[in-house]
Amino acid sequence: MPVVETAGSNPAEHLEHFHAHGIKVIHKCTSVRHAVKAEALGVDAVSIDGFECAGHPGEDDVPGLVLIPATADRLSVPMIASGGFADARGLVAALALGADGINMGTRFMATVESEIHQNVKDRIVEADELATQLIFRPLRNTARVADNAVSREVVGKLAAGAVFEDVRELVAGVRGAKVFETGDLDHGIWTAGMVQGLIRDVPTCAELVTRIVTEAAEIIRGRLASVAGPVAGA
């Protein structure tokens, strides 16, 4: 089944066209209110993006542990949890919080099939959960990116009163693309989430997905079952 994810603006103008061609629409949101609005507009599912995520987390700064269940309480369409997911523990947690599945971005960057430079994959594996910067905060267009010389310079300039034009060249997309192509980690801005702190290898996508699903089942049958104990009346 073909699926399109929309993000960044109101998806209403695209829904009729996509649905007419049998395409399901998932709309990415960073707040409960936007998710509720997206459902009212007729999207087929919502991706809810917590503050931990790479890229744009919105301006409410609500982490997934609160945002996911708060959104689940308000929606009837399926919801995918995004931001901070890399392993089976995250999948089980997301399901417990009311999500129907998870999105992974940074985790899939560090896979064999990912076409980014090996230096970037190695940096993700080496990095901890503190190795990101929030740029554009003073501009109310926050983005979480990898901690490097360029992102630190951007944060410093904006904190000192610079405007976007003063950092435009530093954050240019072509510079970020060169990071992925050449492996020069300080050439430009590139996105990465706090979940770097949970990524410790570069498996194939098949190995990664199989591991997550297998270990999630083990967690549910093992640790969670032992914590729950026998069910009364069972």
**Would you call 52 helix, strand, or coil by DSSP?**
coil
**CB-hemisphere CA count at 13 Å for 165?**
0
Res 215 pLDDT > 80: yes
Average pLDDT, integer, range 184-195 = 98
How are beta strands 143-146 and 132-135 bridged, if at all?
A: antiparallel
Domains of the chain: 3-104+203-228 (3.20.20.70), 109-198 (no CATH)
Lowest-confidence region among 5-14, 65-74, 82-91: 5-14
Alpha helices per DSSP H over 42-163: 64-72, 88-97, 106-109, 118-126, 149-159
- Going from the C-alpha of 43 to that of each of 19, 102, 185, 191, 220, the distances in angstroms are 9, 18, 37, 27, 31
Residue 48: strand pairing partners: 29, 81
pTM: 0.92
Res 223 pLDDT > 90: no
